[in-house]
Amino acid sequence: MGGNLTIKSLLYWVLQWTWGFLQSLIGLIVFLVNFREKHYLFHGAVISEWNDSSSVSLGMFVFVTKDPYYDDKLKKNYSKQEMAYLLLVHEYGHTIQSLLLGPLYLIVIGIPSSLWGFLPHCAKMRREKQMSYFSFFTEKWANIWGAKVAGSTYEKYES
């Protein structure tokens, strides 16, 4: 894994392993299961690229899909590299939510986000009402935090 260890990164790690202990512990277990995958650091978070079709953040561990195009419509607006970066910044935003919410993260963010993403009823509603996945409060908030901390923008990222 590459990356520079800074005071901010050290503080990030300490907070994730204390205030965000439960989700970081679960993230560590998932990391160990996926140890052979590519890993790197991003603003203190441990990023793993995996073959799953979805992405998830667990404390200081982020697991991003190797295929960032979850919707074919995105291919006309974003290169694969741009989409992968936007997805990374979004998932990193969830790690900031973990820092802010600590032990409440899984209840306030993790469970609602998972239900929004995986329940067939929610997928149908998004499709029928042409709602962005990122319109849900957990996802919109992750975009805001990720962009703020990583210095990116999500103004055009609403698909």
Q: What is the pLDDT of residue 4?
A: 57
Residue pLDDT, tens place only, 65-124: 988 776 667 777 888 888 889 899 999 999 999 999 999 999 999 999 999 999 999 999
Q: What is the pLDDT of residue 72?
A: 66
Query: What is the DSSP secondary-structure string of 126-148?
Result: HHHTT--GGGSHHHHHHHHHHHH
Mean pLDDT along residues 41-48: 94
Q: How far apart are CA 50 and CA 66, in angstroms?
A: 6
Residue pLDDT, tens place only, 12-27: 999 999 999 999 999 9
* CA distances (Å), origin 99, targets 61, 67, 86, 147: 12, 27, 20, 16
Mean pLDDT along residues 149-154: 72
- Regarding pTM above 0.85, the answer is yes
Query: What is the DSSP secondary-structure string of 93-104?
Result: HHHHHHHHHGGG
